[in-house]
Chains A and B, each alone.
Chain A
């Protein structure tokens, strides 16, 4: 169902953070769109993300936020438009190739490898960094041992970002909910992305967990100097850590800008944020 009101699109050029302005953006979407079952789930999605920018994608349920993630990671093939990743067109790539090209993501409904240990979840994501072949693994040749030890060390180091190194041998499916969400982020980081997509990372977390998560996202951002795009309904998190925000409604961008601009944008307030109750 499409909205009757035609939204006035805000000035569409995203202002990249100053430190990124001189460099080529990590992600550029031009007129991206997809029709799913006859409905234009996303249309005219124009968006640019700076090399080290943290941006938020917000909007009401069903606005097409996760669909945008699925388009970026090629879970769905876009019907229109172009996605440039590090200046390279991702047309014709599949999910695996997009990941190799630098996008890693988490999922709204957690998708861990439940029967693998925590460490193995992370090491599975390092698969493309490891080079020993089948014969080395069957015969346990020296390069197998060398690479496995290196991978294990790196996995523990990544897990330590979230203080999870002690859980390395635990089966991922038996982790508590919050830890599963954190493990998904670690797993995504293990693929060395230049752009990290987080799909509702704080969903189901309590305020103190959310605060921790916020610190951790900042920490990741500082450590790896990568771009992060996140979908989130927790406005305190979004407004606190995002430098740019993009608001989607009915598959269309209705506003883009800094947190302050978004909070005072009447269209966004109308469609999503809601008015403060006057006493």
Chain B
């Protein structure tokens, strides 16, 4: 018996995980080479960072939807908490820390922390609910976050940091800078997000999620998903593990939000609305719930395709809708399921027999 088998990496799963890492690294190397040899169009180059951010969002939501089996419809909310806190941090650090990659890293860490705090606070009420109710309350929180950020003012001057809600009453001293300006969001952002940074974030997200899933916590997440009552009966702390998955997911989404925001010069809270949450859900559903590689590929394809097929752009959302419905109908149909399982090279042995 090999070591790998002993520590719970069943061969098929191990293969799937290594393949995922390999594909991400290979894709990065190819894109980076193409980009540096000017082989990539500038519009494609501009999409590299958003694609990475969306990939991380897909991985992050997959932890909640695929692994923990709860539907979150407010994931864009965490992305926006991360985007705003991350960008604000980067702006505050602008003078202190001229080295951009370090600033980006710190901004993403701060973003992850803020999003994790938001995830924790929201998780306290949300995770007491189940199923449809949980989904609708995450939707509600997503909208609440958007409303709050749309009415939030934040500035800095020589006197320190100033906040206000609803109207700008920060009364900054001369020379101060109003960073978050309510519905106008943040503008004048230095675009310090880079493709390598995005790649690193995707790798970190993959590592966090894969290693967490193949540990005692991951077993607990999936046990609770499969049967909550049985999970309680073997002494699993339901609230703790649900919270762990939710907060981890929120933190990753926050980091992705910061990366995403620092690829643009302006961001507003309305960018991270219900439609964005649904878009991320489409990545997860299309890639297969619980399948990280699938989610990543779906995120890349669904970000590039609409740009390439501009003439069909008005059909894009319609296509997403059809994708959601067809995927659900197909994956819950016994015959189609069987057909797909025969196509899947990673099918488990016992199912193939």
Contact = CB atoms under 8 A, between A and B. Distances in A.
**A and B: direct contact (Cβ < 8 Å)?**
yes
A96 to B, nearest CB: 5
A119 B9 CA distance: 11
A130 B217 CA distance: 10
Interface in A109-156: 111-117, 119-121, 123-128, 130, 132, 134, 137-140, 144-145, 147-149, 151-153
A220 interface: no
Contacts of B132: none
A82 interface: no
A261 to B, nearest CB: 32
| B contact patch SS | helix
Contacts of B350: 170-171, 174
Nearest to B222: A116
A147 B61 CA distance: 29
A126 B238 CA distance: 15
Which residue, of B216, B226, B230, B231, has the highest number of chain A Cβ atoms within 10 A? B216
A21 interface: no
Contacts of B207: 138
B17 to A, nearest CB: 12
B94 interface: no
Nearest to A192: B235
B351 interface: yes
A60 to B, nearest CB: 25
B238 A138 contact: no
B220 interface: yes
A105 interface: yes
B219 A128 contact: no
B64 to A, nearest CB: 16
Contacts of B351: 171, 174
A94 interface: yes
| A contact patch SS | helix
A101 to B, nearest CB: 9
Given A123-B8, A138-B212, A114 B235 contact: no
A71 to B, nearest CB: 13
A149 B6 contact: yes
A247 interface: no
A276 to B, nearest CB: 39
Given A134-B244, A138-B212, A149 B7 contact: yes
Nearest to B210: A138
B234 interface: yes
Given A75-B233, A127-B219, A127-B220, 10 more contacts: A107-B229, A107-B230, A117-B10, A124-B231, A127-B234, A144-B215, A148-B7, A152-B6, A153-B6, A171-B351
30 contacts: A96-B232, A96-B235, A99-B234, A100-B235, A104-B233, A104-B234, A107-B233, A113-B223, A113-B226, A116-B219, A117-B10, A120-B219, A123-B219, A124-B216, A124-B219, A125-B234, A127-B220, A127-B234, A128-B235, A130-B216, A134-B244, A138-B207, A138-B211, A145-B7, A148-B6, A149-B6, A152-B6, A169-B10, A170-B350, A171-B348
